[in-house]
Amino acid sequence: MRTILSLVASATALVAVSELLYYPIDAVSPALIAFYALPTACFLWTLRHYQVDSLPGVALAGAVFGFAVEGLLVPVLYEAPVFTVSYTSLAWHMLMSIMVCWWVIGRRLRDGSAAGLAGWLIGLGVFLGAWWPTWWLADGPEQIDWSTLQLGVAISVGTAVLAAGHAVLAVLPVPTSSPSRRHSVVLGVAALFSFVTIAVQAPIAIGLLPALMGLCHWGLTRLRGEGLALLSVQQPVRWARFGLFVLVPLAAGLTYGLIELVSDPATVGDLTQALLGGGGWLAGYLVFAWALVRAAQSARSSGLRSDRPWNREKSRSSVTR
């Protein structure tokens, strides 16, 4: 039961960032949270199975989440692979949902200074306030030209859902033990069923998704640690810090309002889309590549340590015992 509840809490927090804070949406619903249950379960299983204890490991686990969202739930990953592998799987789901809003903010609620948490939340708000003008250029129902007040309300709802997810996780944290065989089998069957369904729509998935997940597995195997990423988000939270979440909509509203003052919103939308959309696409690839390089370096340094004479002697003596 604890595993299920922590899954729901994590899915709630991730829905807040991946959906509510990303683009205009009416409201969060149990159906939307259930929709995110599979990629969230993949993410948490990855943390537990590989005992992630480093930022590169968190990045690769975040990539697993992103690829599952855009490659198992919907076929967006396969639409234009050079672009869609990073955007939004890596650029938003990995960087924003996992690394910033699940990992960094989750840790800052527990340790470090309150000023540090405030800085991250203000930065998140400024980014969102600059990001949402890109929807001025969207077609159809996603197009918005909201007032600053409307934007503030939308960001407030998303931020409140994010805070609620973190609050539940503080009471019911993700287990640190390796997942059971039954847990792994159930998740594997669900993922396989979803994958087959998507592959019928996009046959390129048959080669692309296993290759991307294989890269994540390769890196995570070499970064396998002692579960410190999970342990660090199991420490007691400092509940007073939840009040700082109000800084997100305040910073977003101020940024959005300043941008609204520009006489040509379309030009601003073009600019923010190019800078934040294009920059995020590049940043997603760079962080993913950085995590894989760190994995290769970790494997190499582990190999060098095991090759040292005293380590070989230790290994032989442990075997003879």
The two structure tokens encoding residue 113: 């200074």
CA atoms within 13 A on the CB side of 270: 5
Q: What is the pLDDT of residue 137?
A: 67
267 domain residue, yes or no? yes
- The predicted-structure confidence for 277-310, as pLDDT tens digits, reads as follows 889 999 999 999 999 999 999 877 776 554 444 4
- The predicted-structure confidence for 50-79, as pLDDT tens digits, reads as follows 999 899 999 999 999 999 999 999 999 999
Q: What is the pLDDT of residue 226?
A: 73
Q: Which residue did the predictor score with more confidence, 270 or 189?
A: 189
Q: What is the pLDDT of residue 314?
A: 44
Among candidates 294, 306, 304, which has minimal Cα distance to 54? 294
Q: What is the pLDDT of residue 260?
A: 82
Q: Are the CB atoms for 24 and 37 separated by under 8 Å?
A: no
DSSP-derived letter for residue 320 is H
The percentage of the chain sitting over the pLDDT mark of 70, rounded to a whole number, equals 89
pLDDT at 14 over 50: yes
Q: Are the CB atoms for 162 and 15 separated by under 8 Å?
A: no
Q: What is the pLDDT of residue 161?
A: 94
182 domain residue, yes or no? yes
What is the residue-averaged pLDDT of the chain? 88
pLDDT at 45 over 60: yes
321 domain residue, yes or no? no
Q: Are the CB atoms for 67 and 213 separated by under 8 Å?
A: yes
Number of domains observed in the structure of the chain: 1
- The predicted-structure confidence for 93-144, as pLDDT tens digits, reads as follows 999 999 999 999 999 999 989 999 999 999 999 999 989 888 876 665 566 6
Report CA-CA distances (Å) from 9 to 170, 238, 251, 258.
Answer: 10, 18, 25, 34
For residue 244, give its domain range.
2-316
Q: What is the pLDDT of residue 140?
A: 58
Q: Are the CB atoms for 251 and 125 separated by under 8 Å?
A: yes
177 domain residue, yes or no? yes
116 domain residue, yes or no? yes
Count CB-CB contacts under 10 A for residue 196. Answer: 11
Q: Which residue did the predictor score with more confidence, 276 or 250?
A: 250
Q: What is the pLDDT of residue 83?
A: 94
Pick the range with the lowest mean pLDDT from 142-151, 243-252, 298-307.
298-307
171 domain residue, yes or no? yes
Q: What is the pLDDT of residue 294?
A: 95
- The predicted-structure confidence for 208-225, as pLDDT tens digits, reads as follows 999 999 999 999 999 998
Q: What global pTM score does this model have? A: 0.90
Q: Which residue did the predictor score with more confidence, 53 or 196?
A: 196
**CA dist., res. 14 & res. 41, Å (int):** 11
229 domain residue, yes or no? yes
